[in-house]
Structures are given as C-alpha cells and as structure tokens.
C-alpha cells in the first residue's frame, strides 16, 4: 500500500476520528498520554511549535491555549480542513498546512523551538525522512518530543492471528470482568507495516489505518543519524481519575501503553 492509500485511509477516518477525540472518547489520550507528554513539554509559552501529523488539531489547540505559537501539519486534507474550521470558530492563531511530514517544503530551516508529534510517527511510513526534516526545521538546541505506542508491547496481527497482548483468566461471576493474568510479547524484531482495525464500540464508525512497527533501536538510530541527542524518555501512566473512570486504563499501570521521547538538536 502506497502513501496515497494511507492518506486516503486517514481522510476516510476523519469523521469518526473527530468525534472520538472531541467527545473525549479517547481516554487513553485525556487520562494518560497527554498528561505525561505535556509534563515533559513543560512551559511552552511563547515557544514556536510545529505539531507534525496534527490530525484535526486537538493537541495543537491545547498547546496554543498554553501560550505556544503553533503551526500544525498533516498530509490528510480532510483532517486539516476540520482543524481550520475549528480555528475559525475559536481563534488561537494556529497556522495549519497540508504537508507530508517527510517533506516540509514550505517551512524554512531552523525556525521552531519545539517539534511535537503526538502518536503519529508510528503511522508515518518514512520515519527517517520525517526525523531528518524535523532536525532541519528546528533551531539549534530545539527539542523534538514525540509519543508512540510502546514498541515493546504493541499487539500485532499476522495472518489474521493476534500476536501478543493480555492473557485473561475466567470471568468474575458477579462482575463479568475477566482477570488479566499476564502479558505476552512476541515478534518484537519483526518490523513491518500493520493494518490497524479501529473497532472500538465507542466509535461512531469503524475504520482501518496503516501503522509501522519499528523497534526502539530503529527510532534511536534514525535520531542519531539525523544528528539528534536523546535527552529524556517517559513511559506514560494513567491518572488516578482515569483509572477510577476507565478500568481498562488500570492495566497500563502494569504494562506501559506508550513511550514519549525527547531529542535535542545540539
């Protein structure tokens, strides 16, 4: 599947994605990934930030709300059109562009203090090209902060078979909740593209996207080759409130769901 087809998948996913994010159905974001990533980002007031693979702009808006001067880019025209519409409704001075993350043509060298990429680098086919472009547009000492599903614990589907994930015991008679016994991992070094079925019941429409499983070494090598120095790393944990509201999140206190990496342009 080529880049255009991957882009079409995201165009087609825009409507259910917008509802998922804006209706706070994405509780992994609200109660885990965002709190951890924003803590790592720290004070972003007056910083010039590029949000790569910004989607419909939810996190771009959060950063603008915190006082950053934000540019958002995504290769899906539909996603960017939704981001624009929201910007018209509630102006936050965000500048959106339809651009491929691997070719940020219209953005000049060394202009951003921070480049963010929230849960999108795993969906970008050419991670090396994206990381090189990120390096180019960052100022000296600028930071690249990205979150991805934790590559060590990603569930993969091979030939219709689910590889890895929780193994459960019998359902509790009263509550009908199965006890998670332990987590299985396999084929970590088997790097390849995956079709991701977004089939949760809380979506208004199911959709499929393409993602790329890579090892931590693949990401670290690409950062090193581009000239970056990895400075910090966090494995996100859910908030207390999230665990109380969404029992599924409690499992992320046992096995990390995502990882956030900060790399600096020396």
Ligand X SMILES: C[S@@+](CC[C@H](N)C(=O)[O-])C[C@H]1O[C@@H](n2cnc3c(N)ncnc32)[C@H](O)[C@@H]1O
What is the binding site for ligand X (CB under 6 A)? 10, 21, 53-55, 58-59, 74-76, 79, 100-102, 118-120, 123-124
Q: Please classify residue 90 by burial: count the beta carbons closer than 10 Å to its beta carbon, then call 0-12 exposed, 13-18 middle and 19+ buried.
A: exposed
Q: Which is nearer to ligand X, 7 or 48 (CB)?
A: 7
Please, are residues 122 and 131 in contact by the beta-carbon 8 Å criterion?
no
Q: Which is nearer to ligand X, 94 or 124 (CB)?
A: 124
User: Smallest distance, Å, CB 179 to ligand X?
Assistant: 30
Place of tokens 């689910």: 162
Q: Which is nearer to ligand X, 18 or 263 (CB)?
A: 18
Cα 197 to its chain centre, rounded Å, is: 16
Instruction: Please spell the DSSP secondary structure of 43-108, one letter per residue.
Output: --TT-EEEEET-TTSHHHHHHHHTT-EEEEEES-HHHHHHHHHHHHHS----EEEE-BTTB-TTSP
User: Smallest distance, Å, CB 76 to ligand X?
Assistant: 4
User: Smallest distance, Å, CB 266 to ligand X?
Assistant: 26
User: Residues 6 or more apart from 240 whose CB is under 8 A from it?
Assistant: none
Please, are residues 211 and 6 in contact by the beta-carbon 8 Å criterion?
no
User: Smallest distance, Å, CB 55 to ligand X?
Assistant: 3
User: Smallest distance, Å, CB 79 to ligand X?
Assistant: 5
Cα 81 to its chain centre, rounded Å, is: 19
User: Smallest distance, Å, CB 108 to ligand X?
Assistant: 18
Place of tokens 């790329």: 212
Q: Which is nearer to ligand X, 123 or 249 (CB)?
A: 123
Q: Which is nearer to ligand X, 62 or 223 (CB)?
A: 62
Q: Which is nearer to ligand X, 8 or 180 (CB)?
A: 8
For ligand X, which residue has the nearest CB?
55
Helices 34-41 and 58-65 meet at what angle, rounded to 10?
Answer: 40
User: Smallest distance, Å, CB 10 to ligand X?
Assistant: 3
Q: Which is nearer to ligand X, 58 or 228 (CB)?
A: 58
Please, are residues 97 and 71 in contact by the beta-carbon 8 Å criterion?
yes
Please, are residues 101 and 124 in contact by the beta-carbon 8 Å criterion?
yes
- First CA to last CA across the chain, in angstroms? 36
């Amino acid at each position: 599947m080529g880049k255009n087809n991957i882009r079409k998948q995201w165009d087609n996913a825009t409507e259910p994605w917008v509802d998922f994010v804006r209706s706070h159905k994405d509780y992994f974001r609200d109660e885990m990934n965002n709190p951890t990533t924003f803590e790592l980002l720290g004070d972003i007031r007056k910083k010039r930030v590029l949000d790569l693979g910004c989607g419909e702009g939810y996190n771009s808006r959060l950063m603008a709300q915190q006082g950053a001067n934000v540019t958002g880019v995504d290769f899906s025209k539909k996603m960017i059109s939704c981001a624009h519409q929201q910007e018209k409704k509630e102006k936050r001075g965000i500048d959106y562009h339809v651009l491929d993350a691997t070719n940020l043509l219209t953005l000049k060298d060394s202009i951003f203090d921070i480049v963010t990429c929230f849960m999108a680098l795993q969906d970008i086919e050419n991670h090396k090209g994206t990381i090189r472009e990120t390096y180019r547009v960052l100022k000296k000492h600028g930071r690249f902060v990205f979150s991805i599903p934790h590559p060590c614990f990603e569930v993969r589907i091979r030939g219709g078979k689910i590889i890895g994930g929780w193994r459960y015991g019998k359902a509790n008679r009263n509550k009908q909740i199965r006890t998670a016994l332990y987590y299985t991992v396999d084929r970590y070094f088997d790097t390849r593209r995956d079709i991701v079925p977004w089939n949760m019941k809380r979506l208004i429409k199911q959709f499929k996207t393409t993602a790329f499983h890579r090892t931590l070494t693949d990401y670290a090598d690409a950062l090193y080759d581009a000239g970056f120095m990895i400075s910090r790393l966090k494995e996100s944990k859910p908030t207390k409130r999230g665990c109380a509201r969404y029992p599924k999140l409690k499992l992320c206190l046992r096995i990390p769901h995502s990882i956030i990496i900060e790399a600096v342009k020396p």
